[in-house]
DNA sequence: GTGAAAGCGCTAACAC
DNA sequence: GTGTTAGCGCTTTCAC
């Protein structure tokens, strides 16, 4: 940059102003400087810029447990898109649901002076992590960890209740549930929906076979196996969780259980193949695209808010958005009678 | 940091050395400094560090067309994992296959002084982009763009030929091919495999219905539709591309075409549901985990090489690794006779 | 409207 | 071993 200045016979300050589009430099000169910079193939050093202008939007952090599932990759994609248009770069870190790793990564993001973060917290987030998060503009999604921040979540309760009622209406009374552990924020939500459905259907919750596990594919397989191995296995199974659903579907398939004649199945999540599978699975879906868009926008507005008002922690959890989950009836749920037929 | 130094009555240089584990500081002092820093909740500024130590491994760039497909997300996940262990942060950018956007993002990564990049080039990469890439330690994967850099690719030729021979052995002669455009590096490779299979099977290539398209899901749907709408539609269809396969499978399903009795289908890629679908699809798979691991390791070794040797452009394309694709026979391919039966 | 100079937070010579 | 000092490449007062 100092070279540019010399070659043009101006000061570095002027170059800086021209490149940043400051109005206080003669338009003609500014253009000349920009052209010369372009011609020379000059690329400003973001690091120096961020260091100098002590507050910057050079980077934001994106912290997720996994990237290979649509629930998270949609948010990654959307953030990358919007932030890129904003001139901000996204540092992606993957926790694999390990709280220690999460804390470590949060520290490093703070060290990089990220302007903000978007995070799907790990299952057992550490207090130290929460503390780091509370000092920055943060948006959380999918999972809430009890910090004072805006977020975007799926509203599963209603669809869960509907799923129970749907099965009950088909004559099922032994309905199994495979869901995420209550330690995750969405575990209790889905369970609440299930309870409500059970209640409305006049069934007995205590009698229902149930497994609550950490949301992984292998747990889905394990949980489904356990439920199916019961003395009196359920005639219908509701899975409340994306990864769990994939595992459960796999287990059912491997056991060559006929769906829906031997077992009615309701899965959770949006992989396109749920609809493509044969029969198309009855499923509870959330528009991850919608959720992602909201989350990304929220983050950007938070960044802007912070910049102007410096409101800091005040601008807290007032903006929590919910994306409703919906029950889609496919061909994997059928009247109980069909089982004996 | 200057505060830390004052509080401990030492110089900032000593603090810096202690924090970086320099051997030239008394161990006891070093520990005291680290403890104090910890207690004060001090986090070093990576930006300043990277700016000062003029060469740094603070950041690397990861540039991919999409993130919601296992071919790319696997690499993202693996890089994030390995780099994180390495103390390096990954800046992720998504090109959506747009060359302009790609160039823009590469510029910004250079501006952030990334230590290196890992990239799956967009379809029509610009010369300016190549030029930027040639100045850095770069690893490419999935697609080659003709720069002098190591890379990891799938070796599809053999499996493609096998697929043709498999179908030919089942009696099919009108075999359709839906593949990626020849402008992508893997388009010609797969086509070459196809040609070889056709030749070995004693079929006539010119007679084969074929569509070569940009690899997107919607193109998969469109291409399949076009092939199926031909006056004499193929009795077997090979799809050479992950996204194309999903679209094609969708189209076939929507048309309620019976597989394999009405159409034999070979898809490409590794989504778990290909195997779970009914019937399980015959497919050409690549171990994306393996590919990802190799790519990530290659990047890290490139970073280290650069640091010590400063060999620069010399350390070029000498390290190209291939991960073999494999044909798995599922239930979606059957003898031609079955069609009339 | 433009230049000179101070400084962002750190590292790396170089002295002692 | 440790302190002093000069930068890294920018932005941003403050003068002019």
pLDDT tens for each residue of chain A, 341 residues long: 889 999 999 999 999 999 999 899 999 999 999 999 999 989 999 999 999 988 889 999 999 999 988 899 999 999 999 999 999 999 999 999 999 999 999 999 999 999 999 999 998 899 999 999 999 999 999 999 989 999 999 999 999 999 999 999 999 999 999 999 988 888 999 999 999 999 999 999 888 999 999 998 999 999 999 999 999 999 999 999 998 999 999 999 899 999 999 999 999 997 777 877 878 899 999 999 999 999 999 999 999 876 554 444 445 567 899 999 999 999 999 998 754 43
Q: What is the pLDDT of residue A322?
A: 95
Residues with CB under 7 A from strand C: A 9-14, 17, 24-26, 29-30, 48, 51-52, 54; B 1-2, 12-13, 16, 19-20, 44-45, 48-49, 51-53
> Which of A211, A255, A264 shows the shortest CA–CA distance to A237?
A264
Sheet containing strand A236-240, strands side by side = A210-213, A175-180, A236-240, A264-268, A282-285, A326-328
Distance B54 CA to D6 C1' (A): 14
- Best interface-test mutation with B: which of A51, A53, A107, A281 has the largest number of B CBs within 10 A? A51
Q: What is the pLDDT of residue B310?
A: 42
B338 pLDDT above the threshold of 90: no
> B298-309 pLDDT, tens per residue?
999 999 876 554
Spatial separation of the C-alpha atoms in residues B112 and A56, rounded to whole Å:
13
Chain D nucleotides with an atom closer than 7 Å to a protein C-beta: 1-5, 7-13
Domains and CATH numbers, chain B: 2-44 (1.10.260.40), 59-154+288-310 (3.40.50.2300), 157-285 (3.40.50.2300)
B312 pLDDT above the threshold of 60: no
> B101-154 pLDDT, tens per residue?
999 999 999 999 999 999 999 988 999 999 999 999 999 999 999 899 999 999
CA A34 to chain centre: 40
Q: Does B126 touch chain A (CB under 8 A)?
A: no
Task: Give chain A positions within 8 Å (CB) of B278.
Answer: 277-278
- Best interface-test mutation with A: which of B88, B98, B265, B276 has the largest number of A CBs within 10 A? B276
B84/A101 CB distance under 8 A: yes
Closest partner CB to A278 (pick from B74, B272, B278): B278
B101/A84 CB distance under 8 A: yes
Mean residue pLDDT of chain B comes to 91
Q: What is the pLDDT of residue B313?
A: 45
Q: Which residue is nearest to nucleotide D6 (CA to C1')?
A: B52
Q: Alpha-carbon torsion A72, A73, A79, A80, what sign?
A: positive
Q: What is the pLDDT of residue B340?
A: 47
Distance from the B43 Cα atom to the nearest Cα atom in chain A, whole angstroms: 6
Q: What is the pLDDT of residue B142?
A: 94
Hunting for tokens 């040797």 — which residue is that? B309
> B161-193 pLDDT, tens per residue?
999 999 999 999 999 999 999 888 889 999 999
For chain A positions 165-204, those within 8 Å of chain B (CB to CB) are none
- Best interface-test mutation with A: which of B42, B60, B63, B68 has the largest number of A CBs within 10 A? B68
Residues 51-70 in A having a C-beta less than 7 A from any atom of strand D are: 51-53
Q: What is the mean pLDDT of residues B28-40?
A: 92
Model pTM?
A: 0.93
Distance from the B196 Cα atom to the nearest Cα atom in chain A, whole angstroms: 32
| Angle, CA A162 vertex, CA A157 and CA A166 arms, to 5° | 155
Spatial separation of the C-alpha atoms in residues A233 and A174, rounded to whole Å:
8
Question: B186-200 and B157-169 are packed helices; what angle lies between their axes, rounded to 10 degrees?
Answer: 30
Q: Does A261 touch chain B (CB under 8 A)?
A: no
- Per DSSP (E only), the strands in B9-53 are none
For residues B260 and B237, the answer to whether their CB atoms sit within 8 Å is: no
Q: Within chain A, what is the greatest distance between any pair of CA atoms?
A: 91
A–B CB contacts, 8 A cutoff, strictly below: 131
Residue A48 buriedness (CB in 10 A; 0-12 / 13-18 / 19+): middle
| B211 CB-near residues (< 8 Å, 6+ apart) | B176, B177, B178, B179, B223, B226, B227
Closest partner CB to A77 (pick from B45, B47, B67): B67
Q: What is the pLDDT of residue A314?
A: 47
Q: Which residue of B has its CA nearest to A69?
A: B68
């Amino acid at each position: 940059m100092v070279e540019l200045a010399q070659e043009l016979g101006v000061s570095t300050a002027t170059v800086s102003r021209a490149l940043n589009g400051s109005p206080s430099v003669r338009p003609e000169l500014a253009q000349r400087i920009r052209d010369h910079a372009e011609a020379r193939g000059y690329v400003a050093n973001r690091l120096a810029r961020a260091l100098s202008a002590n507050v910057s939007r050079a980077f934001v952090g994106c912290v997720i447990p996994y990237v290979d599932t649509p629930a998270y990759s949609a948010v990654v994609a959307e953030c990358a898109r919007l932030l890129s248009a904003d001139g901000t770069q996204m540092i992606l870190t993957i926790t694999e649901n390990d709280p220690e790793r999460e804390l470590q990564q949060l520290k490093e993001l703070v060290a990089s002076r990220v302007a903000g973060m978007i995070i799907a917290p790990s299952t057992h987030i550490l207090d130290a992590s929460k503390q780091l998060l509370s000092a920055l503009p943060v948006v959380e999604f999918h999972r809430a960890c009890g910090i004072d921040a805006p977020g975007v979540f799926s509203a599963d309760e209603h669809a869960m209740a509907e799923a129970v009622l749907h099965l009950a209406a088909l004559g099922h009374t032994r309905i199994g549930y495979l869901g995420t552990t209550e330690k995750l924020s969405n575990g209790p939500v889905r369970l609440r929906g299930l309870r409500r459905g059970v209640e409305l259907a006049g069934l007995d919750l205590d009698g229902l076979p149930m497994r609550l596990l950490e949301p992984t594919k292998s747990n889905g397989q394990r949980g489904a196996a356990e439920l199916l191995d019961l003395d009196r296995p359920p005639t219908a199974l509701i899975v409340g969780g994306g990864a769990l659903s994939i595992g459960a579907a796999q287990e059912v398939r491997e056991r060559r259980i006929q769906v829906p004649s031997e077992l009615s199945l309701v899965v959770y999540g949006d992989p396109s193949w749920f609809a493509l599978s044969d029969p198309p699975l009855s499923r509870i879906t959330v528009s991850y695209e919608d959720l992602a868009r909201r989350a990304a926008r929220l983050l950007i507005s938070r960044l802007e808010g912070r910049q102007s008002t410096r409101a800091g922690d005040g601008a807290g959890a007032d903006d929590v958005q919910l994306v409703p989950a919906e029950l889609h009836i496919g061909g994997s749920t059928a009247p109980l009678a069909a089982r004996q037929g």
